[in-house]
Amino acid sequence: MKTATALAGGLAGALTLNLIHETYRKIDKDAPHIHLIGEEALTKLLKAAGLPLPSTQKELYACTLAADILSNALYYSLIGFGKKKHLLRRGLVLGLAAGVGAVFLPSKMNLNQSHSDRTTETKVLTILWYTLGGLAAAGAIKVLGKKK
């Protein structure tokens, strides 16, 4: 698999994940708020590095969204490496792993875990959305790989 194809597919998965998240959290107050974990992590990282923080909440949100899309795109691009016949399986497994990580890792990183595990619904949706992102990445990689 070409790296460019894997990266493009990873980006498709990351965009799918963020589109679902951003849309659903505006219509359901119990939706996961993964962006808040990202904002907290980015703030801690910038402070630890001695770098300036975004000056407004809007800037912090935009920086977090950009970092989230980039990091998820890189992660989901891993789906493109390996045998083509296992693309969907890798998409499912890596997406599921990312979702489970999003639910259980924040507390291990001293971040507010309640944004992803507040209720059973929040946990299930977090895992589901990351899994859908992985499957979208796998599908995009499969389609893009055929065009080469």
Q: pLDDT at position 127, please? A: 96
Q: pLDDT at position 1, please? A: 65
- Distances in whole angstroms, Cα of residue 3 to Cα of each of 8, 9, 54, 75, 86: 9, 10, 33, 13, 17
pLDDT at 65 > cutoff 60: yes
Q: What is the mean pLDDT of residues 60-88?
A: 96
- CA neighbor of 60 nearest in space, from 42, 85, 86: 42
Q: What is the mean pLDDT of residues 65-88?
A: 96
**Across 27-31, 85-89, 94-98, 123-127, least confident range:** 27-31
pTM over 0.75: yes
**Euclidean distance between CA atoms 133 and 148, whole angstroms:** 23
pLDDT at 147 > cutoff 90: no
